[in-house]
Chain A
Amino acid sequence: MAKRETPEVNAGSMADIAFLLLIFFLVTTTMDTDSGLARLLPPPVPENQEPPPPIKDRNVFTVLLNSNNQLLVKGKPLRVEELKDAAKEFILNEDNDEKLPEFKDVEVDFFGVVPVSKGVISLQNDNGTQYQAYLMVQNELQRAYNEVRNELARRKWGKGYDDLDEDQQKAIRAIYPQKISEAEPKNIGKN
């Protein structure tokens, strides 16, 4: 028998195989960047600390959320959809309303001395509140802050808050500090 040369393995299809694998990984890869609402918890309170001085009524924006996912904002029932505007009104207090929070002059970079609201949003929920409802309230409050900050950023620099550099963001945060205080849990409106 004539000695035949073993034919070379055709490597041309190697690329196809590799491509196939590549596409498989491309499709299955979930560069799943988790997202969510970022929050900062208050540090634990030392046990023998004296209670903080009371805050004036006009400086507090109380949001109560009961176990039926109903809202009570400053003593009035409100729908979640209306919460953002109510919160914005509270944060801005454009007409210096007597019932809305006071201001305190603070010096801020880029802006000079500006009045900064003393308002605090106080959020209290029930143990039976649905998580989604609670998150929705948090979301609306965040949205109010984001909108207020964005508006200021546009007025001052003509771009959105997210496009500003760090110092500018810091200045805006100083003018509209996000003050959401969550009360120690209580049982409201138990059924």
Chain B
Amino acid sequence: MAKFRKKGSKGLPPISTASLPDIVFMLLFFFMVSTTMKEVSLKVRIQSPQATELAKLEKKSLVTYIYVGVPTHQYKALYGSEPRIQLNDQFATVGDIQSYIAQEREGMKEADRPKMTTSIKADFDCPMGIITDIKQALRKAQALKINYSAVQKSNY
């Protein structure tokens, strides 16, 4: 009469978690691929200026960066403490901008070229003289869409 259920023979079978690592790895790979590590190491000190009316820069591949600022400590001896322009990984002068823009434009797809945006990342304390020079150079290079990089102003 007395019937004993065999232990563990019935009841819900445990959900197999064997595929969990796969799922997680998939996520992992997604993030690894979509993460863009910083491409250039900054040689100038940039403290972004603040603004409120910001527009987002959408497509990274369409954006060319121009960095402006005082050279960081280790480059001070070589390049002085006046604001300098950095294009890609090296210091440059205003005269280099035109060829730099042309070169960047070459590297883009034909259809993307008119949408090219130049982002000017300059230190907030730069004098406008250098920025104006850059703007004039960009005008000459026909890179008319620009973006003054700035961060959201916290209190207004």
Q: Which A residues are closer than 8 A to B by beta carbons?
A: 11-12, 14-15, 18-19, 21-22, 25-26, 28-29, 33-44, 125-132, 134-136, 138-139, 142-143, 146, 182, 185
Chain B positions within 8 Å of A39 at CB level: 146-148
Can you give 30 A-B contacts (C-beta < 8 A)?
A15-B20, A18-B21, A22-B24, A22-B31, A25-B28, A25-B31, A25-B32, A25-B35, A33-B56, A33-B58, A34-B147, A35-B151, A36-B51, A36-B119, A37-B53, A37-B150, A42-B139, A43-B139, A43-B142, A44-B140, A44-B142, A127-B128, A129-B127, A130-B124, A131-B123, A132-B49, A134-B128, A135-B124, A136-B49, A185-B129
Chain B positions within 8 Å of A138 at CB level: 51, 148
Chain B positions within 8 Å of A35 at CB level: 54-57, 149-152
Chain B positions within 8 Å of A15 at CB level: 17, 20-21, 24
- Interface check B42, CB cutoff 8 A: no
- Docked CA distance A125–B31 (Å): 44
Q: Which of A18, A40, A125 contacts B128 (CB 8 A)?
A: A125
| Sample of 18 more A-B contacts, CB < 8 Å, known A131-B127, A142-B53 | A15-B17, A22-B28, A29-B31, A29-B35, A37-B51, A37-B55, A37-B148, A37-B150, A38-B146, A43-B139, A127-B129, A127-B132, A128-B127, A129-B127, A130-B127, A134-B128, A139-B150, A143-B52
**Residues of chain B at interface, number, CB under 8 A:** 52
- Interface check B50, CB cutoff 8 A: yes
> Which are the 3 A-B pairs with shortest beta-carbon distances?
A127-B129, A18-B24, A132-B124
- Docked CA distance A40–B118 (Å): 10
- The interface bits of chain B over 2-20 (1 if a CB of A lies within 8 angstroms of the residue's CB, else 0) are 0000000000000001101
Q: Which B residues are closer than 8 A to A by beta carbons?
A: 17-18, 20-21, 24-25, 27-28, 31-32, 34-35, 49-58, 63, 117, 119-120, 122-129, 131-132, 135-136, 138-140, 142-152
Chain A positions within 8 Å of B31 at CB level: 22, 25-26, 29
When C-beta atoms are compared, the residue in chain B nearest to A33 turns out to be: B56
- Docked CA distance A41–B101 (Å): 15
When C-beta atoms are compared, the residue in chain B nearest to A67 turns out to be: B127
Chain B positions within 8 Å of A142 at CB level: 53
Chain A positions within 8 Å of B24 at CB level: 15, 18-19, 22
Chain A positions within 8 Å of B150 at CB level: 35-37, 135, 139
